[in-house]
Amino acid sequence: MSEELTDPELVSAFKAGDAEALGLLMERHKAAVFGYLLRLTGRRDAAEDLFQEVFLKLVKNPGAYNEREKFKAWLFTVARNAAMDLFRREGSRSEISLDGEGDKPGPADFLASAEPGPAEAFYGKALGERIGAALDSLSEDQREVFYLRHYSELSFKEIAEMLKVPIGTVLARMSRAAAQLRKKLTADLQ
């Protein structure tokens, strides 16, 4: 099967019985969805379980996806809902941290993967820590919109649909997040 097929074409192929199509969809979106779940939960084991749950939903009920929707936005909505269900089952939502702790990756882990020299590694890690601290200073709503826009590359419209809020709310959260990050990172440089 060609990797050139669009997401809706792959979903249609999967609905028609082509299991390889599901594998291509999972591979295409694995990094973005897993990264999103990891940032939401802060736990690798929970993110892995939720990632499987997200695609299991498609396997169990392929009709849940409506071809008129963008698949990526639908997928992130399912991922977010699965995470919220987990938080409800656990009784509370743990604080989201974008700083790496222990075996949890931090923002520096998602920087360019080219092998840096010692100086680049030091500055990359330091920059990642500053960015992580700045992101942690955002409200949860601002941080989520920022992540979905910049790391998951969803459009503002897709984010609004996913979060079930007006697009103006998404734009306001993004604007406030950008202003706060600019202020925090500029202050760190002085």
What integer pLDDT is reported at residue 103 of this predicted model?
A: 53
pLDDT digits (tens, 9 = 90+) for 36-65: 888 888 888 999 999 999 988 888 888 888
CATH topology assigned to domain 114-190: Arc Repressor Mutant, subunit A (1.10.10)
At 119, the pLDDT band (50, 70, 90 cuts) reads low
Among 90-99, 122-131, 132-141, which stretch is predicted with the lowest mean pLDDT? 90-99
The CATH code that applies to domain 1-93 is: 1.10.1740.10
Q: Where are the domains of the chain?
A: 1-93, 114-190
CA distances 124 to 17, 51, 104, 107, Å, are 45, 28, 17, 10
Q: What is the CA radius of gyration of the chain?
A: 18
Cα angle value 58/163/154 (rounded, 5°): 75
Cβ 158 vs Cβ 70: under 8 Å: yes
At 102, the pLDDT band (50, 70, 90 cuts) reads low
pTM: 0.64
Is the pLDDT confidence value at 108 over 50? no
Cβ 149 vs Cβ 177: under 8 Å: no
What integer pLDDT is reported at residue 142 of this predicted model?
A: 92
Among 94, 79, 88, CA closest to 31? 79
What is the mean pLDDT of the segment spanning 158-186? 91
